[in-house]
Every structure is written in C-alpha cells, then in structure tokens.
Structure 1
C-alpha cells in the first residue's frame, strides 16, 4: 500500500495582514508630519497634525459655557430644595447643562480631528503631502501596513480542496529575496469555488518578523498535500478488457478477477483503487492465460499489492 501524496506549486501575490490608506481626518494646513517610508509606528502614535487654533478656542468657549451651566443648575437645585425656585426653571437649567455638555464633547471631537494617529501597529509608505500643504477631508496621506505577516493569495484547483486544510505547512520563495525559503501555513480558504475557473481562493500566512517581505510581491508556493492510501501493483499486473481495468488475485490457489481504477503511475508501479489488501498475491506474469477460478501455480512469489 502506498500513500498518494502530491506536491502542488502555485504563483501568488503577497498582501499585508492589515493595510489601509491614511487619509486627512479634517480640512486644514499641515503643521507637523512624521510620515516617512518604512517608519514604524505603534497604534495611537501621532502621524500628522493640522493647525487647530480655531478648534482650541471653540473648546475653551464650550468649557466656559459648561462651567456656567453647571453653576446655574446647581443653584436652581439648591433653591428647589428650599421651595424658592419654580420647577420649570430648574428643568430649563438641567437642559442648558446637558446642551453645554454636548457642545463641549463636539468641540473636543473636532479638536481631536486635527490629529491623524496610527490605527494599529504598522509601517508608513511614501507621504503624498508635505508640511504646509492644505488638505481636504479624506485626502490621501500615505499607505499604512501591518506586515508582521504576509498573506499570499493563490488559486487552488477544486480537485485538491479535499486535501487542503487550515494549518497545512507551506514553503514560499520570492524573487525579491533571492536564495531564501520562507515557511508558512494555510490561513484562509474561500467558501466558494469560482465556477468559471473551477478554483478556490486560498491564502497562506508567512511570518515576516525579519521584515524581508513586502506587500505586492510575487511568491512561488509549494504545498505537500497528503493523500489517501491505495494499493500499488507492478505495471505488468494491470490488464484491460471489456472496457475496464483489472488485476488477477490468487485466492486459495485460484485466479480471481478484481476490478480496479487507475489512480496514477509512480516509479514502475501503478497506484490503483480497488478491493485489494496489502497481503494479496497479485499475478504479474502469465496473466493472458488466466480466467476466473482457473488454477494458479505460484512459481516466483513476490510481495502483493504493496510491491
């Protein structure tokens, strides 16, 4: 018996595990910019600042209004407890306080929008803006990638889907790093097969702790795919008649015709699918003279279906 393992190679394209285009959060003039190609940032690090004089003034005014509204609310609460204030006036003071809170929160958000921060740990690309430029909302600033791992996407024929599972080891090479083999594993398998190409999209994850790999590069992938265990017989033992393949098995000194299906040829043996066991004695020579239940004299015994 032999295991019908296969080696599959594919060409794929690498992607960062996370990738975004950094965009201006608001309109205004750039007063600081730390973006540079290949520079690493942690989540929350400041990448760019916009002028914010007007926004800081609005925050100060909102803080003053909230302070006044707080004092008014507290005063009417005290008067209400002594019966000296109308309920309607207290309700108005409570409303003014909540409005002042909301205005301060809004002013704070607008001030925060004057800063562009790293959304996650990653690396910036080439900046498309400079200090002193005026930008509009959503103008692109730079690319931003988390390339701690590279995902390589490739197409897998539907016939091999049953052999591939998450975690299956993968080896990869890329012309961008000559002479290196990178280890990875299958990370994602699409839930659909493309009806036009009869392939499914698969992604392999490759560790990039050394930061050798870049998104967008091409990769050559190799997958060693485990297969089922099948009988293997010498090629001479395989016979074709009446539109089907068969071998002759010796059972209690008699010839028995066993139908089989060709799986593939390998190194002088033929891997077949059929009701054969490892200990079966298979006739290799003289098969043309055999018929079902004819007597068989074994002159030169060999290992059976596994030989």
Structure 2
C-alpha cells in the first residue's frame, strides 16, 4: 500500500488523470460516447437549403458615339449656267416636293418651246394631208414616210425644249427643310455652284461602330436608346436599320446604322449622340449570390447530385442583383446548389435538400 501511494506521489495530478483515461480506454465496453455514435453521425444526411440552377443570357450594355444625318438629304446644284432671277424660299423654310426654290432666267427657253410646238403642228398638218391624198396616188410612200419622220423629229425637239426650260428652275425633290443659301437674285450660277441643301428630318439615321466581338448578336429591328450630350436631355428610341457586311481591319469594328424618329423635330442632322445598346452574349448558369464560395484556388459552389454534394469550380462572368452568372461545364440547368449550410459541407457528404424559396 505504501508503495502504491509513493508511486502516485511521484506523478503530477494531470499525468495521473491522463493515465487513468488511457487504462479505461483499453477495457472492454469502455468506448467513448463520441466513438460509439460516430458512424451513425457520419451516415446521417445533413439538412441544407438548395436552389435550382437556371441558365440565362449574359446581358451586355454597349455605349457608343454616333453621328446623325437626315433620312433624306441632298445638296442642290443647277443643271445649266444662267442668271438667278428669283429666290422663293429662305433658310429654315419647309418645302414640298416639286416646289421651286430658285428660278433662273428662262426667256430663251420659253421661246424655244413655243417654236418647237409650232414646228410640231406644221409637221402634223403636213402628215395629215399626205394621208388624206394617199388613195388618189398623188403622194408617194416615200413622201409619206418623210412626213411621218418629220412629225417624230418635231415632237422630240419639243421635248428637248421643255427639258431645257425645266432646267431653268431648281425644284425640291422631296419634302424637307431648306438650308442656308448664299444665292441672291442677279447672281450667275453654273453646274458647280451649290444652291442650298434640303433635309427630310422627320427621322434621322445614326451611324456608329460596334466591336467585332458582338458581330452576329445585333439584328435589324433591335431597339436602341439615343440621347444627346446635353445635361438632362431626354432619351429617344430607335431601331437598328442596317448592319455593315464587313469588319474594319484597322479598328476591328463594324458599322451599324439606326433610325431614330424625329417627328417632334427636336433633333438635327449632323448631331452626335450617345448610343446605348443592350445585347445578349451567350448563355451561362446563374446561381444565388449566397451559394458562391471562395477558396485558395478560386470560386466554387457546392452542387447536389444523387443526394451528395460535390465541389464545383466556377468562374464569375457577371454579377446581377442577388445572383451571379458563372461559367462552368458541370452545372446543367436544373441542378441544385447549396445556399444555406455551406460551412458544414465536404466532398461526398450526404445531404437532405430543402428547396429554397
């Protein structure tokens, strides 16, 4: 007995407690409670909240600078040389198609038209007489043919005279607004003299460039938003009208032309615009923001497949409100990902899924 006490007195109290536990652990039936229930705890499925994976396009907003022109625009030049006798409209006036803007001196041309009409009437009367006397044999077929040809020549001369007369007036080819002109009555003009401009600005054509990356993702009829650079200017809606057939090898962009309604006449040709265009670029899995985890090797999610979880690496593509577009080949549409309980997850752990709201 004394030997036992002396042995105990030679060890610290903590050492004795450790030895006692070690001895108890070697006795049959003395397994710890944790060891007895460990296997059952390992096999028991962990409750987690999950949510299904959806796929949706990546929304890309493109902003570009565009330059506008009128839907129809023309610079007027005279067809002939002459003296201006009248300017009927001034800058800013609205003109109708066919309305005369500048009138040149046309006295000689009017006389030429009258002379051509007289010659035509004479030729027609001569041809009529020859036809009436044809049966009597007093007019040969050759003379009749010459009279017929004379009528045709006279008609052509009249048409040419009328065209020359038309050239003496400069008319609007379509409805629009007149631009500034430096032409006054008495001025001498020729075919190289710029008279004025006409713009049909009921709608504008806005041209801009898009990176070649988005070629094939823009279609005719696609909506765009157009706004001026003035602070607080309202947005105007338009649609894509034309897409160029080639990419510029220097800028790696392609041209797009859109049509913008301007019936209220607030915009002007030549203005520059800020273009906003929303595009859908590919389809990607979208997961809840709370499902995304980060590790030493990057982002990942816990995916549920067959009642167990697995770690799936992902690459963040775009952040949305409460959701994240990711890139991964192991997240098919409809697969569930863990949104709550991620801190308890490990590879291959059985889980009981509770669908998230």
Q: Could you say whether these structures have the same fold, taking a TM-score greater than 0.5 normalized by the shorter chain as the test?
A: yes
Question: Aligned-pair distance for 1:27?
Answer: 1.1
Please say if 1:168 is aligned against 2:168. no
SS in 2 for 1:164: coil
The DSSP-based 3-state class of the residue aligned with 2:89 is coil
Where does residue 179 of structure 2 map in the other structure?
125
The residue aligned with 2:114 is 60
Q: TM-score, normalised by structure 2?
A: 0.75
| Change beyond 3 A, Cα 1:74–1:271 | same
Aligned to 2:76: 22
Q: Counterpart of 1:162 in 2: which secondary structure?
A: coil
Map 1:218-237 to 2 at 5 A: 218-233=272-287, 234=289, 236-237=292-293
Q: Secondary structure at the match of 2:120?
A: helix
1:297 aligns with 2:350: yes
157-166 or 32-41, which moves further after superposition? 157-166
Bigger RCO (CA 8 Å, 6+ sep): 2
Provide the C-alpha distance between the structure 2 equivalents of 1:263 and 1:213, rounded to a whole number of angstroms.
38
Cα distance change of structure 1 residues 144 and 109 upon mapping to structure 2, 3 Å threshold: same
Q: Compared with structure 1, are the counterparts of its residues 115 and 164 closer, same or farther at alpha carbon in structure 2 (3 Å cutoff)?
A: same
Give the aligned partner of residue 31 of structure 1: 85
Is the 8 Å Cα contact of residues 237 and 287 (structure 1) preserved in structure 2? no
* Structure 1 residues 233-252: aligned runs within 5 Å: 233=287, 234=289, 236-237=292-293, 247-252=301-306
1:253 has 2:277 as partner: no
> Which string of whole-angstrom CA distances, capped at 9 and with x for unpartnered residues, describes residues 137-161 of structure 1?
2421011111110111111112223
Q: Secondary structure at the match of 2:195?
A: strand
Aligned-residue offset at 1:257: 6.0
Q: How many residues in Structure 1 have an aligned counterpart in Structure 2?
A: 298
User: 5+ unaligned residues in a row in structure 2: which ranges?
Assistant: 1-53
170-179 or 100-109, which deviates more: 170-179
Question: Per the alignment, do residues 175 and 262 of structure 1 end up closer, same or farther by CA in structure 2, a change over 3 Å counting?
Answer: closer
What's the CA shift for 1:240? 8.1
TM-score, structure 1 normalization: 0.86
Give 2:335's aligned residue.
280
Question: Which protein is bigger by CA-based radius of gyration?
Answer: 2
Q: Determine whether 1:115 maps to 2:164.
A: no
Q: 1:238 to 1:250 in 2, by over 3 A?
A: farther
Change (3 A) 1:91 1:19: same
- Residue 218 of structure 1 and its aligned partner are, at CA, apart by 1.0
Quote the Cα distance in structure 1 between the aligned partners of 2:344 and 2:179.
71
Instruction: Tell me the alpha carbon deviations over residues 232-273 of structure 1, each in whole angstroms, 9 at most, x when there is no partner.
Output: 2347446786xx986552212334565756533445754123
Alignment partner, residue 6 of structure 2: none
Q: Could you say which residue in structure 2 is the equivalent of 1:212?
A: 266
1:182-212 CA-to-partner distances (Å, cap 9, x unmatched) read 1211122112121222211111211111111
Inter-partner Cα distance in structure 1 for 2:151 and 2:352: 106
Q: Which runs of 4+ in 1 moved over 6 A?
A: 238-241
CA distance in 1, matches of 2:282, 2:198: 44
RMSD of the TM alignment (CA)?
A: 2.8
**Shift of the alpha carbon at 1:109?**
0.6
Pick from 188, 193, 201 the counterpart of residue 247 of structure 2.
Answer: 193
Which residue does the alignment assign to 2:103?
49
Query: Quick check: 101-110 or 220-229, which moved more?
Result: 220-229
Determine the C-alpha separation between the residues in 2 that align with 1:230 and 1:99. 76
Q: Secondary structure at the match of 1:6?
A: strand
| Distance in structure 1 (CA, Å) of the matches to 2:211 and 2:253 | 4
Give, in whole Å, the separation in 2 of the partners of 1:70 and 1:276: 90
